[in-house]
Chains A and B, each alone.
Chain A
Amino acid sequence: MIINAEQPGFRQEEVKKRLEKLDPETTYKVQRLVFYPYMIFEYVIDRRNFFHPLKGHVGCTIDGVNKVGALADTFPQLMKQEVSDRDFIQPDLTLADAKERAEDFLYHSLSSKKKILTIPKLTLTKQEIFYRPYWIVEGILNLPNHFFITVDAVSGKFHPL
């Protein structure tokens, strides 16, 4: 299947090097990529009055499985890519559902975090389903003592599996 995917900022060898620098005791095997679904929505904020502090674009991503929102600063660099079914996770919500969640999330965070007095009007400018690559990494202490972590191939953040 062809999907819209972000390009990994961290290559296989870089991930291995980074982890082994942090933890020289362990051998890391960077096994493969798994593509994780997100939906992104970009809005333009309409200034309703002169005093309004916000203007410009605001973006929100929705986790395609957990359905959690997050503010997005920039629109991701996407490329069409061919992947097999074994390598990507199917999203669990429709674009329309996600849009509703994204708007809820944005209004909520704009009003609470950005300390604005009036609710701005948002106009959707872009929406897209995209996939972010995550590395699956096996750490081997001494056989059979091993563990798995996943590394976000774009940001380099990692978490044990």
Chain B
Amino acid sequence: MKLQNIWFVVLACKVNLYILEYSIKYIFRDKYKNIFIVIVMSLLVALLAATLFISNSMKAKYNSIIDNYPDIVITNQKALRDSTIDENEIDKVLTLKGVTSVVARVWGHYYFLNADKKFLILGRDEFETYFNPLLNQKMNINKESMLVSKDVKKILNDNYYKKYFNFIKSDGMIEKVKIQNTLDLDTSVKNPLLIIMNKDLAKNIFQYKNSEVTDLAVSVANKNEIAFIATKIKILFPNARITIKDDLRVHYENIYNLRSGFFLTIFIITFFTFFIIIYDKVSGLNSEQRQEIGILKALGWRVSDVLNAKLYEGSIISLLSYILGISFALIYVYVFNAPYLKDMFLNNYNLLPDFKIAFTMDYETLALLFFLSVPIYIAATIIPSWRVATLEADEVMR
């Protein structure tokens, strides 16, 4: 009994090559109509896939930026504006239970007038451990030299600063700094216009006094305690602005969700278009197609043969357009870096300048688009034919 069942399944699964040949010929008979369907459907799939690919890789990028962010950042404020903080305040924070380490960070922007560009300067002490893995690398810089990213190097080269650069300090004096080396940045870096230098040198360029630093980065071992420790720090520094990693995540997600309303619109529009095509197919066959099914039945085809033929037809068209659409999207997003469509995701806050889309294979999106397009299209081709095929042949042709 069991063996027979298995044989039955195998036979049912077996592709009838004659019927397959018939359905391929059927597709080519209506060449222009079917090509049009393939083009429209693959464009729909491509548009949806592209938006989803971009949004997913942006999400991955935001998360990688936030992962390198300290658990808690303490920024001093004067008149509700960010100001410097005394380095010695670290000791106050360190006495709190649950705090693993505190790092006094020196960082800021430098506006380079000639090129109208803003550089990000990160100060670094050789023996401190930072959240940003970029700063923890072994670097060969001394107190008079700096590391610059490739983009900065290019800007400085264009302005004839080949070996060194003159920083203009706020007192009008010039600080000459040697360009030691260039940095290779990966895509997870938010700002590509990056300069890394010794902490003391950075302090000198920013004209910080002895123990002034930009902010304090607090690391907390047990992530459940972060919110509680943040409230304790708030009591220690009533005037300061305390930023928690999770708040930042929410902040990014808010900006991003504003955009995702837009994606939803695209999503809905494309799906309505798709369903109009489907509706058109389901609503009935024209007399020519009905007659053809009638003739097939009169020639001795069974209902299952007709349905098989329609199944093959639907699968060929929908799978072809799915594969074409996905490959369009992949090439458009990851090879050509999604021109035009990408700009809709980047807003005027310029959160991610010069955003390069990193490749992430998003299997969920692939599965979502597959199940929303391929089975629905196949069903839309089979169901009306099944309605006709179950009728008697003479009734159909009448």
Say whether A and B bind each other.
no
Give me the interface of B with A, judged by CB distance under 8 Å.
none
Give me the interface of A with B, judged by CB distance under 8 Å.
none
